[in-house]
């Protein structure tokens, strides 16, 4: 069977001098170190291409995670030269410094092995932030109509393209300093649900994110919005939750809030 | 060195707000101590005020006014971010807070010299 490998294609072969110095994190759990590999530089290649080349051509034991390679699945995020990025859509040319790349596992998450981060804490926080959809109607009832122009729907639409890549979570210093902080992705998910009229108990979502380690822990550094590869704006979602939470605290009676 | 993921305007605005707050918190006890001299040791206060006419002290006061102004405008920026309807111009707001602080502290310096 023949697999087409663009990195082996002679037509895009380049001279011997075009070599990338790539240091890749190797190790299991908390221990490890950077190992340097020399990878041929190509005219057009992504960081994920580089990692795949190392795994296929030099060291098959290199562990990393990817699936779709086109920026849909959100599984290939890594730290590239100290910044969190979706590696499948990050061109090497845009991020190399002096022909060198440093690739590590995502920040703020435990490392399983090499470049594969343990995503469990990230998704556990989705649940903790009320991120599970609890419908207001059963399947026996007619579907609730939601107008696309409805202000809540417009607000929710801004956040629903999240692919759960955890780039924002890795960029956030508040997560780094407060390990139990829910983080930008989970809070943005909560904000979309809070604005979704099909959710049964939207006050419950707001209560889940108004507690300790919720939206009020955000220090407004904006790294989430700065690094979101889908150009979403978790900072505005968290600000929206803060506003809704403060309004609920000030203007709703205790019974209403329960 | 500042780590790469922090090199963007809103992170700098965050750090400036923290550092200016810290600077003001350290200044306040000294400020109150000097003011208290008016009641306890008027002669010492007069000597201190004469020392404060020194151009170097005026320059330091420029820094102090800058810290105060940047913390004030930065605080207003955060209140607007959290309580007013969302605006996408957060970087401009942070830049405006910095510019306003330079305007206020620069005017102070020009009047002082």
State pLDDT tens for residues B49-103: 999 989 999 999 999 999 999 999 999 999 999 999 999 999 999 999 999 999 9
Q: Which pLDDT belongs to residue A76?
A: 97
Which residues, at least 6 apart from A41, have a Cβ–Cβ distance to it below 8 Å? A14, A18, A19, A20, A92, A99
Q: In this complex, do B78 and A239 lie within 8 Å of one another by their Cβ atoms?
A: no
Q: For all residues of chain A together, what is the average pLDDT?
A: 91
pLDDT at A256: 62
User: Please, is A208 exposed, middle or buried when counting C-beta atoms within 10 Å of its C-beta (0-12, 13-18, 19+)?
Assistant: buried
A6-117: which CATH topology? Ubiquitin-like (UB roll) (3.10.20)
Alpha carbon of A175: minimum distance to chain B alpha carbons (Å): 14
The percentage of chain A sitting over the pLDDT mark of 70, rounded to a whole number, equals 91
Q: Which of A212, A208, A174 has its CA nearest to residue A194?
A: A208
Question: What 3-state DSSP class applies to A72?
Answer: coil
Q: What is the CA A181 to chain-centroid distance, rounded?
A: 15
Mean pLDDT lowest among A2-6, A112-116, A124-128, A146-150: A2-6
Mean pLDDT across the stretch A144-166?
A: 94
Q: Where are the domains of chain B?
A: 8-23+54-112
Q: Encode B88-109: b = buried (16+ Cβ within 10 Å), e = exposed.
A: eebeebbeebbebbeebbeebb
The pLDDT value recorded for residue A131 is 81
Are the beta carbons of B81 and A220 separated by less than 8 Å?
A: yes
Distance (Å, whole) CA B30 – CA B32: 5
Chain A CB contacts of B3 under 8 Å are 82
pLDDT band at A1 (very low <50, low <70, confident <90, very high): very low
pTM for the predicted model, two decimal places: 0.89
- What is the DSSP pairing of strand A77-80 with strand A83-86? antiparallel
Per-residue pLDDT, A133: 80
pLDDT of amino acid A98: 86
* Spatial distance between the Cα atoms of A214 and A124, rounded to a whole number of angstroms: 14
CA distance B49 to chain A (A): 39
pLDDT per position as a tens digit, A82-103 = 999 999 999 999 999 888 999 9
Q: What six digits make up the tokens of A71?
A: 């920026």
Judge contact between A78 and A103, C-beta under 8 A.
yes
What mean pLDDT comes out for the span A17-24?
Answer: 90
Position A4 confidence tier, pLDDT thresholds 50, 70, 90: very low
Q: Could you state, in order of their start, the residue ranges of all structural domains in chain A? A: 6-117, 120-257
- Which of chain A's residues have a Cβ under 8 Å away from the Cβ of B83? 243, 246
- How far apart, in Å, are the Cα atoms of A8 and each of A74, A99, B5? 27, 20, 33
Contact call for residues A24 and A35 (beta carbons, < 8 A): yes
CATH class of A120-257: mainly alpha
CA–CA distance, B10 with B59 (Å, rounded to integer):
28
CA dihedral A134, A135, A136, A137 (to 10 degrees): -140
Confidence check: pLDDT of A77 > 90: yes
Say how many C-beta atoms besides its own lie within 10 A of residue A44's C-beta: 10
- E-strand stretches of A6-70: 19-26, 33-40
A138 conformational bin, left if phi > 0, alpha if psi -120 to 50, beta if neither: beta
Quick one: pLDDT at residue B112?
Answer: 84
Look at B8 and A173 and tell me if their CB atoms are within 8 Å. no
Nearest CA among A2, A192, A161, A193 for reference residue A72: A161
A222 vs B11, B82, B83: nearest CB: B11
The nearest CA of chain A is from the CA of B24 a distance in Å of: 19
Q: For B71, how many CA atoms within 13 A lie in the half-sphere containing its CB?
A: 14
* DSSP character at residue A199: B
Q: State the DSSP code for A148.
A: T
């Amino acid at each position: 069977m023949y697999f087409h490998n663009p990195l082996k294609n002679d037509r895009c072969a380049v001279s011997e001098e075009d070599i990338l110095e790539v240091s890749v994190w190797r190790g299991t759990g908390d221990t490890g170190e950077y190992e340097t590999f020399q990878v041929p530089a190509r005219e057009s290649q992504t960081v994920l291409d580089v990692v795949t080349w190392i795994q296929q051509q030099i060291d098959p034991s290199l562990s990393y995670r990817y699936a779709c390679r086109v920026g849909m699945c959100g599984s290939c995020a890594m730290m590239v030269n100290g910044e969190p990025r979706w590696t499948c859509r990050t061109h090497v040319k845009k991020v190399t410094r002096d022909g060198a790349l440093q690739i590590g596992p995502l920040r703020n998450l435990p490392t399983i092995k090499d470049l594969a981060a343990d995503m469990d804490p990230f998704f556990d926080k989705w649940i903790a932030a009320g991120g599970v959809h609890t419908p207001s109607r059963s399947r026996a009832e007619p579907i609730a109509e939601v107008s696309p122009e409805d202000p809540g729907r417009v607000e929710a639409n801004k956040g629903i393209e999240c692919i759960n890549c955890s780039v924002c979570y890795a960029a956030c210093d508040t997560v780094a300093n407060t390990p139990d902080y829910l983080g930008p992705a989970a809070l943005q998910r909560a904000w979309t649900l809070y604005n979704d009229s099909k959710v049964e108990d939207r006050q419950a979502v707001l209560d889940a994110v108004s507690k300790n380690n919720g939206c009020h822990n955000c220090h407004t550094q904006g790294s989430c919005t700065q690094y979101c590869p889908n150009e979403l704006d978790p900072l505005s979602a968290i600000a929206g939750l803060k506003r809704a939470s403060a309004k609920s605290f000030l203007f709703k009676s205790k019974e209403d809030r329960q | 060195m500042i780590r790469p993921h922090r090199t963007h305007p809103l992170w700098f605005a965050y750090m400036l707000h923290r550092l200016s707050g810290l600077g003001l918190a350290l200044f306040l006890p000294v400020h109150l101590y000097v003011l208290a001299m008016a009641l306890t040791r008027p002669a010492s206060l007069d000597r201190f005020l004469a020392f404060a006419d020194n151009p170097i002290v005026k320059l330091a006061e420029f820094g102090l006014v800058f810290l105060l102004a940047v913390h004030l405008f930065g605080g207003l920026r955060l209140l607007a971010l959290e309580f007013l309807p969302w605006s996408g111009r957060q970087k401009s707001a942070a830049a405006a807070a910095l510019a306003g602080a330079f305007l206020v502290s620069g005017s102070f310096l020009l009047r002082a010299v």
